Structure 1
Amino acid sequence: MPPDSTDRVVADQADLSCANCGGHCIFSPTQGKLECTSCGTLRPLETPGDGDAAPEFAYDPDAPENDPPELTHGRIHQCRNCGGAVLFVGAALSEHCPYCNGPVVLGPADAGYRTKALIPFQADRGFARRQMRAWVGKRLAAPRGLPELLDDARLVGLYAPFWTFDSHEALTYWAQYTTGSGNNRRTRKTSGALQIAFDDLLMPASPHVTPLIRDGILHDFDPAALRPYRAAYLAGFAAERHHQSVAQGLAANAPDKDLLIRNRIKRHINKSGVHAIRFQTDTTGIHYRRILLPVWIAHYTYDGTPMKVVISGIDGRTFGERPFSTWKLAAYAAAMSAAAIGLGLAWGAGGLL
């Protein structure tokens, strides 16, 4: 019977019971431990193997994948709007999708790939709300009442699925660049070879991990902070399992990798106006990790438009969608126009002296 079967889930649920009073435990980001919601007893989660969470796994695209999906019987919730499948460890904590805020229903058994490691939540709910309040306070032309609206926003802690990829790229490229200007403008051709090594390239492992969510955590990732996957870290939070094979993950993230390669080629050519880039690459040394990373997602609605703010569960870095106040924008534009006119008049008066 696979490790992620019913027996595994039952054991996970039992492991979340407080040894002191039998109450339900959740993971405390501030304590870094399981905390009983009834009596407050703390239980450490550190193990001697915590330092072994960072190793990567080799992948050979010419060989069959040796990491098959496994069936999970648990509290899998399916979103009726976006289709996201979210796992709740312990009692279900929400009736809404962490990604889109749509209604969710308890779904059937779910086949997914085993998570290799995760970075536990370090920013708690209170800290996330303070970061969100600080973020909105710095937004120019924010509508009146927006801070209070965000204070009432539904805030959900989610472990989002990501990949890390390593690879070595042996490139041959062809491109064009421009020289001169006006009648002397010329287009030149160039070609060359380039070696690129990608190390811990962090990529989303789900179509529900939007650029906003990715950017909310991208700069915080440190492989040394990874810990071996344990269900106890998920207690009190939602999580999306990995559903992509390695080949699917590489294919889904190929456009982003292609963009990175093209930018490296531009820097290597070191000319202005580089364009029409073509390249061939021999990719070797592929290694990967399946990991979960923590984010807080706040959902709110302004004038009937749903919006979200994402706060990193690692250090509180905040990104978000926000409305603009029309009258404030008009006031800023008028002030800038007045300043420009005043500067022009002052400049002209100075020229007459």
Structure 2
Amino acid sequence: MNQKTQQTELKKPCINCGAEMKYLPGTKNISCEYCGHQETISIDENGFEELELYPYLKEMGAQRHSEEIAMLNCKNCGATQHIEENYKSLHCVYCSMPLVLEDQYKEEWILPGAVLPFQLDQKKSFQIFQQWVKSLWFAPNNLKKAALDPQFTKGLYLPYWTFDAQLSAAYSGQRGEYYYENKRVRNSNGKMVNQRVRKTRWYPASGNVSGFVDDTLVKASKQRKGKVPSKIARWNLKLLQPFNSSFLRGFVTEKYTIPLKQGHLAAKGEAEQIARRWCRQDIGGDTQRVTSMKMNLSEETFKHILLPVYISSYRYNGKEYNFFVNGENGTISGTRPYSFWKIFFTVLLVLAVIGLLVVFNK
């Protein structure tokens, strides 16, 4: 294992000035922050490699697509993070607690098959943060200062599993067709009136459905704190690039903590929902019932992929708050504190205005 090339930890200095090269968001280049020199990232022309699922579930063949990676574990929130560059000062992207470089340890991981590179740079993420924070009612003044400070914002690649499969299902159920009848009912005034009532005729239905389920996306990490909101967890997977560690330069990468087996169970649950939807479409009519369904998945493959977010972590009155920006499309979401005094004085002002109106009306 010690002889294995550490591809995700290779550092590439600038050929002009020797400074570290970092990925330039929205491009396929790495760039030097000091002299501006750029180099194009080599993209595998063969595209993504879909890995056969069951050999990995049976712990076979993992050595071919895995390697050791240097990890740092946050003792406060439990997040596992890989730093692609040599930071002098390290802080957890989720809770801002200091990380000790000496605590680094080596750990095996399944190599990512693809990465969706950051499309927005830090400057753009700051602008999105600023606009969002300024729009918040009753936000503490310190919050607005924190949102403007670059040191509180980090670019993070989140791990996900994606699963592909051929799906087939045999079902039985019922097709419902609506019809209407007039019924005499008493209205709110006590009068008898005609009311049109919808009813359903049910007919037996059965059949088979099949198709390809592409890129079922399953979260591959679980944080005790700083959970990424579902509102921003939507990416255009058509922008995925074959994995190259150069896309990670200058960013933090989180290692998956949800194992492949558990991710596969979640993907099967989503496949069942897809199968039921296909069954309902096949049944037709106005409404449907699926009383039984036998689903089968074949030719199952998976990828470990990395998806981009910016995180700003902020502490206020002893509590931690996280703000997230989707690194591909700029969608923002997060939790926020409220200023007690702003709310207090606003309530006083409202009560004073109401009191004055009452006095003038008298």
TM-score by length of 2: 0.71
Q: Give the deviation of 1:38 after TM superposition.
A: 3.4
The aligned counterpart of 2:129 is: 132
Q: Is the CA contact 1:115–1:242 (under 8 Å) kept in the aligned structure 2?
A: no
Whose strand fraction is larger, Structure 1's or Structure 2's? 2
Structure 1 stretch displaced more, 180-189 or 34-43: 180-189
Note if 1:68 corresponds to 2:62: yes
Note if 1:159 corresponds to 2:157: yes
Instruction: Give unpaired runs (5+ residues) of structure 2.
Output: 186-196, 351-362
Q: Give the deviation of 1:127 after TM superposition.
A: 0.5
Distance in 1 separating the partners of 2:270 and 2:276 = 10
Matched AA of 1:250:
H
Distance in 1 separating the partners of 2:309 and 2:47 = 20
Matched AA of 1:84:
A
Deviations 1:40-78 (A, max 9, x none): 32222144x2x4333423334798454415452x54211
Equivalent position SS for 2:62: coil
* Superposition map of 1:92-107 within 5 A: 92=87, 95-105=90-100, 106-107=103-104
Distance in 2 separating the partners of 1:305 and 1:272 = 51
Distance in 1 separating the partners of 2:317 and 2:25 = 34
Deviations 1:95-138 (A, max 9, x none): 22223444433332111111112122121111011122333455
Q: Is the CA contact 1:298–1:308 (under 8 Å) kept in the aligned structure 2?
A: yes
Matched AA of 1:77:
L
Instruction: Give unpaired runs (5+ residues) of structure 1.
Output: 335-353
Aligned length in residues? 322
Q: Give the deviation of 1:18 after TM superposition.
A: 1.2
Q: Is the CA contact 2:276–2:290 (under 8 Å) kept in the aligned structure 1?
A: no
The aligned counterpart of 1:349 is: none
Equivalent position SS for 1:92: coil
Q: Give the deviation of 1:296 after TM superposition.
A: 0.7
Note if 1:111 corresponds to 2:126: no
Q: Compared with structure 1, are the counterparts of its residues 12 and 116 closer, same or farther at alpha carbon in structure 2 (3 Å cutoff)? A: closer
State which of 214, 228, 234 in structure 2 corresponds to 1:199. 214
Structure 1 stretch displaced more, 260-269 or 143-152: 260-269
Q: Compared with structure 1, are the counterparts of its residues 265 and 110 closer, same or farther at alpha carbon in structure 2 (3 Å cutoff)? A: same
Q: Give the deviation of 1:303 after TM superposition.
A: 4.4
Q: Is the CA contact 1:16–1:235 (under 8 Å) kept in the aligned structure 2?
A: no
Matched AA of 1:289:
K
Distance in 2 separating the partners of 1:61 and 1:18 = 41
The aligned counterpart of 2:194 is: none
Structure 1 stretch displaced more, 289-298 or 176-185: 176-185
The aligned counterpart of 2:306 is: 292
What is the percentage of aligned positions where both structures have the same residue? 23
Deviations 1:118-168 (A, max 9, x none): 1221211110111223334555x4536454443247111111111221123
- Cα RMSD (Å): 4.1
Q: Is the CA contact 2:169–2:294 (under 8 Å) kept in the aligned structure 1?
A: yes
Q: Is the CA contact 2:272–2:295 (under 8 Å) kept in the aligned structure 1?
A: no
User: Which has the greater radius of gyration?
Assistant: 2
Matched AA of 1:125:
Q
Distance in 1 separating the partners of 2:26 and 2:217 = 26
TM-score by length of 1: 0.72
The aligned counterpart of 1:77 is: 72
Distance in 2 separating the partners of 1:240 and 1:215 = 20
